[in-house]
């Protein structure tokens, strides 16, 4: 059996399974196969590429460039094909159709609780609409990621895809800034911000900064994995573009999240041999910041100063959001069980402090105000388990060359989840796909690690070892 020469997921599983035909249950090879070997079997390639296509449509939105594509409903079709292919593949191979992890059970419980609270919603019809049009889709993508990204090669491919897709997002942000594509506000005519990318997740500059921050650690992970200097140089360029894109959005939450990413990496590298390079980079960045600070637009410096001085915000948004959070905390205390109904924090705030028709800009208060304390508790449990999954993979795979890629990818996803945990305090993104995509990656990496770590081959990643990064 030439396991080490095989260079595809399908052939890898064929080697693991001893070439047994799927329609012959009970063969000696099947009886001898361990559960870990069975769980290392890749699922349908069609399902995986359906997820890749969905990700491309979600982030790049080609239908905006080619309007004729809007009629094709590319996101819906690609997700539907992925689900159908995954179920068909498992049905034909007599494998469980709906495997569930602790995290998927918690996500299902959160969905069930959101459905249970609909009768008590401020607007039941609005809650049902948000469930069907936004939240269920986020959970479906979460489930697809967990069940299709079950080999190291597939995880690498999705990481590369996300990194490459972040580049046009950042380029558009920088281009808007340089070309003067701004929009102003009545409250502050002298303050302007760039337009968003235009895709569903990046329609405004705050959302663009959030997505760039979530994708940035994935690019950093690939930088640590890559060996070829040319690829590393390209990744450094992508990282620099992402950081520049965050700055051009003038997003205060984006700036704080970027600082959190930076500090997290400093903490992670404090005891590693490469820490001298990281500290050297830190010194260079500090020097560049001191040199470049006088060159920054005055409006940007003023914008960042409102992080600590909310009354100095000429637009009034900082003071308004702080006031809304205080009102939301009081409302949660008054209605702690069922809340206002999923997606109805706007109506709840309108009733309490007047009709301003703005969301609460805090993920944790969104869950608490919409779904009560049970809802926010389930979300926090899901976030904590996703973070712990990445920590576990890092601890167990550290020092094992065969799993070097999984180590760095789990570290990158961990930093992305930390970034979301910080950004969640400033964004109304409780039910959007951003968190559930990163949580799906975290669980997929953990399940892949569990499946591959006990394989008899000394190099369980032999088939796809660094085929992309070189």
Please give the pLDDT value at position 316.
Answer: 65
User: Domain residue spans in the chain?
Assistant: 102-452
3-state secondary structure of 192: strand
| Residues 153-163: tens digit of each pLDDT | 999 999 999 99
Instruction: HSE, CB side, 13 Å, CA atoms: give it for residue 239.
Output: 18
Element (H, E) at 161: helix 152-179
The pLDDT of residue 3 is above 60: no
Phi-psi region of 73 (alpha: psi -120 to 50; beta: other; left: phi over 0): left
| Residues 312-339: tens digit of each pLDDT | 666 667 777 778 888 888 889 888 888 8
The pLDDT of residue 347 is above 60: yes
The band of 167, judged by pLDDT with boundaries at 50, 70 and 90, is very high
Which percentage of the chain shows pLDDT scores above 90? 46
Please give the pLDDT value at position 284.
Answer: 66
| Residue 448 and residue 406 in contact, taking contact as beta carbons nearer than 8 Å | yes
| Residue 181 and residue 194 in contact, taking contact as beta carbons nearer than 8 Å | yes
The pLDDT of residue 356 is above 80: no
Q: Cα 204 to the chain's mean position, in Å?
A: 18
Q: In DSSP terms, which residues pair with 182 in a beta bridge?
A: 194
| Residues 37-57: tens digit of each pLDDT | 444 556 789 999 999 999 999
Give me the long-range contacts of 229-237 (CB less than 8 A, separation at least 24): 231/469, 231/470, 235/163
| Residue 300 and residue 250 in contact, taking contact as beta carbons nearer than 8 Å | yes
Strand 182-184 and strand 192-194: the pairing is antiparallel
Q: Of 200, 194, 199, 156, which is closest to residue 177 (Cα–Cα)?
A: 194
The band of 270, judged by pLDDT with boundaries at 50, 70 and 90, is confident
Give me the long-range contacts of 348-351 (CB less than 8 A, separation at least 24): 348/122, 349/324, 351/122
Q: Of 417, 439, 364, which is closest to residue 213 (Cα–Cα)?
A: 417
| Residue 137 and residue 433 in contact, taking contact as beta carbons nearer than 8 Å | yes
Least confident of 65-69, 208-212, 230-234, 465-469: 465-469
CA geometry: angle at 417 spanning 424 and 413, to 5°? Answer: 155
């Amino acid at each position: 059996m030439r396991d080490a020469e095989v260079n595809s997921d399908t052939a890898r599983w064929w080697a693991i399974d001893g070439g047994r035909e799927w329609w012959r249950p009970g063969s000696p090879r099947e009886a001898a196969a361990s559960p870990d070997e069975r769980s290392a079997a890749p699922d349908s390639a069609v399902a995986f590429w359906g997820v890749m296509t969905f990700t491309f449509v979600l982030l790049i939105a080609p239908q905006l460039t080619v309007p004729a594509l809007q009629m094709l409903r590319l996101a819906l079709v690609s997700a539907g094909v992925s689900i159908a292919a995954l179920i068909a593949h498992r049905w034909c191979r007599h494998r469980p159709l709906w495997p569930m992890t602790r995290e998927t059970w918690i996500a299902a419980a959160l969905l069930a609780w959101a459905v249970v609270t609909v009768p008590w919603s401020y607007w039941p019809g609005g809650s049902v609409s948000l469930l069907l049009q936004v939240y269920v889709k986020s959970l479906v993508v979460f489930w697809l990621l967990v069940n299709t990204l079950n080999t190291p090669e597939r995880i690498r491919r999705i990481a590369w895809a996300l990194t490459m897709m972040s580049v046009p997002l950042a380029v558009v942000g920088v281009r808007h800034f340089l070309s003067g594509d701004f929009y102003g506000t009545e409250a502050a005519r002298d303050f302007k911000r760039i337009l968003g990318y235009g895709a569903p997740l990046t329609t405004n500059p705050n959302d663009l900064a959030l997505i760039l921050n979530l994708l940035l650690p994935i690019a950093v992970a690939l930088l640590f994995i890559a060996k070829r200097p040319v690829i590393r140089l390209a990744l450094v360029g992508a990282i620099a573009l992402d950081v520049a894109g965050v700055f051009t959005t003038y997003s205060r939450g984006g700036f704080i999240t970027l600082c959190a990413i930076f500090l997290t990496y400093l903490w992670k590298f404090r005891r590693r041999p490469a820490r001298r390079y990281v500290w050297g980079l830190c010194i260079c960045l500090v020097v560049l910041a001191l040199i470049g600070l006088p060159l920054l637009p005055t409006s940007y410096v003023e914008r960042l100063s409102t992080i600590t001085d909310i009354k100095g915000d000429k637009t009034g948004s900082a003071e308004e959001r702080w006031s809304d959070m205080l009102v939301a905390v009081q409302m949660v205390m008054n209605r702690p069980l069922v809340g206002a109904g999923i997606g109805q924090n706007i109506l709840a705030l309108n009733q309490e402090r007047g009709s301003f028709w703005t969301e609460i800009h805090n993920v944790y208060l969104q869950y608490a105000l919409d779904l009560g304390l049970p809802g926010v508790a389930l979300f926090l449990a899901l976030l904590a388990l996703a973070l712990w999954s990445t920590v576990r993979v890092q601890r167990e795979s550290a020092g094992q060359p065969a799993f070097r890629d999984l180590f760095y990818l789990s570290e990158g996803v961990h930093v992305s989840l930390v970034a979301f945990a910080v950004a969640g305090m400033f964004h109304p993104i409780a039910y959007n796909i951003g968190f559930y995509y990163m949580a799906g990656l975290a669980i997929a990496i953990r399940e892949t690690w569990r499946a591959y770590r006990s394989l008899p081959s000394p190099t369980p990643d032999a088939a796809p070892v660094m085929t992309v990064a070189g």
